[in-house]
Amino acid sequence: MRKYQVAVVGGGPAGMMAAIKSAQTLRHPSKSNVVLIEKNDNLGKKLLLTGGGRCNITHDSPINSMVNLFGKNSAFLKPSFFNFDREKLLKFFKFKGLNFKTENNGKIYPVTDDSKTILEILDKYLKDFGVDVVLSKRVMDIEKNKDVFNITIEDCNSSYPTHTSNKIKSNKLILATGGVTYPLTGSNGEGLKFAKKLGHHITPIKPGLVPFKIREQWVKDLSGLKLENVGLNINFNSDDAFKKKISSRGTVLLTHFGLSGPGILDFSRKISLNAKNLQDLFPCEMSLDLMFDLTPEQLKEQLNHDFNQKGKTIIKNYLKILLPKNMVKPFLRVVDVDPQKKLNQISRKEKNRILFNLKNLKLNIISLLPIEKAMVTCGGVSYKEINSKTTESRIVSGLYFAGEIIEFCGPTGGYNLQMAFSTGYNAGSCAANSLNKEN
Ligand SMILES: Cc1cc2nc3c(=O)[nH]c(=O)nc-3n(C[C@H](O)[C@H](O)[C@H](O)COP(=O)(O)OP(=O)(O)OC[C@H]3O[C@@H](n4cnc5c(N)ncnc54)[C@H](O)[C@@H]3O)c2cc1C
Looking at residue 221, the DSSP 8-state letter turns out to be H
Range of the domain at 295: 211-368
**In the prediction, which pLDDT does 237 show?**
73
Can you say whether the dihedral through the CA atoms of 316, 322, 328, 331 is positive or negative?
negative
Whether 287 and 321 map to the same domain: the answer is yes
Whether 363 and 393 map to the same domain: the answer is no
Whether 220 and 304 map to the same domain: the answer is yes
CA atoms of 56 and 414, how far apart (whole Å): 5
Domain end position, chosen among 338, 368, 398: 368
**In the prediction, which pLDDT does 438 show?**
87
**In the prediction, which pLDDT does 110 show?**
98
Q: Which amino acid is at 258?
A: G
Whether 252 and 193 map to the same domain: the answer is no
Task: Spell out the residues 6+ positions from residue 267 whose beta carbon is closer than 8 angstroms to its own.
Answer: 232, 246, 248, 250
pLDDT tens across 309-362, in order? 999 999 999 999 999 999 999 999 999 999 999 999 999 999 999 999 999 999
Nearest to 280 by CA among 242, 224, 253: 242
Ligand 1 atom nearest the C-alpha of 54 is 8
Q: What DSSP string runs through 100-117?
A: EEE-TTSEEEETT--HHH
Nearest to 79 by CA among 435, 383, 394: 383
pLDDT tens across 148-194, in order? 999 999 998 655 545 566 999 999 999 999 999 999 999 999 999 99
Quick one: CA torsion of 3, 1, 158, 51, rounded to 10 degrees? 0
Our answer on whether the CB atom of 414 is closer than 6 Å to any ligand 1 atom is yes
Identify the helix (H) or strand (E) that includes residue 284: strand 284-289
Our answer on whether the CB atom of 139 is closer than 6 Å to any ligand 1 atom is yes
pLDDT tens across 4-31, in order? 999 999 999 999 999 999 999 998 755 5
> Ligand 1, residues 89, 375, 426: which to mutate, most atoms within 8 A of Cβ?
375
Whether 199 and 290 map to the same domain: the answer is no
Query: Average of pLDDT values for 195-200?
Result: 98
Question: What CATH number is given to the structural domain containing 284?
Answer: 1.10.8.50
Mean pLDDT across the chain = 94
Task: Spell out the residues 6+ positions from residue 211 whose beta carbon is closer than 8 angstroms to its own.
Answer: 255, 257, 258, 259, 260, 264, 265, 268, 368, 369, 373
Question: Is the pLDDT reported for residue 48 higher than 80?
Answer: yes
Our answer on whether the CB atom of 14 is closer than 6 Å to any ligand 1 atom is yes
Q: How many domains does the chain have?
A: 2
Whether 407 and 265 map to the same domain: the answer is no
Our answer on whether the CB atom of 194 is closer than 6 Å to any ligand 1 atom is no
Q: End-to-end CA distance of the chain, in Å?
A: 22
**In the prediction, which pLDDT does 327 show?**
97
CA atoms of 83 and 425, how far apart (whole Å): 8
Domain end position, chosen among 336, 368, 400: 368
Our answer on whether the CB atom of 136 is closer than 6 Å to any ligand 1 atom is no
pLDDT tens across 222-251, in order? 999 999 999 999 988 765 556 789 999 999
Residues facing residue 141 across a β-bridge = 152
Assign residue 202 a region: left if phi > 0, alpha if psi is -120 to 50, beta otherwise?
beta
Q: Output the CA 45–ligand 1 centroid distance in Å.
A: 7
HEC profile of 160-219: CCCCCEEEEEEEEEEECCCCCCCHHHCCCCHHHHHHHHCCCCECCCEEECCCEEECCHHH
Question: What CATH number is given to the structural domain containing 14?
Answer: 3.50.50.60
Q: What are phi and psi of 356, to 5 degrees?
A: -60, -45
Whether 100 and 129 map to the same domain: the answer is yes
pLDDT tens across 268-299, in order? 999 999 888 888 889 999 999 999 999 999 99
Q: In what order do the strands lie in the sheet with 100-102?
A: 58-59, 107-110, 100-102
Whether 234 and 301 map to the same domain: the answer is yes
Domain end position, chosen among 323, 348, 368: 368
Our answer on whether the CB atom of 375 is closer than 6 Å to any ligand 1 atom is yes
Ligand 1 atom nearest the C-alpha of 182 is 53
Our answer on whether the CB atom of 420 is closer than 6 Å to any ligand 1 atom is yes
Ligand 1 atom nearest the C-alpha of 43 is 49
Question: Is the pLDDT reported for residue 262 higher than 90?
Answer: yes
**In the prediction, which pLDDT does 427 show?**
98
Return the SS3 of 32: coil
**In the prediction, which pLDDT does 419 show?**
98
Q: Output the CA 13–ligand 1 centroid distance in Å.
A: 7
**In the prediction, which pLDDT does 238 show?**
60
Whether 263 and 364 map to the same domain: the answer is yes
**In the prediction, which pLDDT does 162 show?**
53
Whether 255 and 398 map to the same domain: the answer is no
Q: Give the pLDDT band of residue 137 (cuts 50, 70, 90).
A: very high
The structure's pTM equals: 0.95
**In the prediction, which pLDDT does 275 show?**
86
Whether 170 and 259 map to the same domain: the answer is no
Q: Output the CA 48–ligand 1 centroid distance in Å.
A: 9
Whether 215 and 183 map to the same domain: the answer is no
* Cβ atoms of residues 382 and 200 within 8 Å: yes
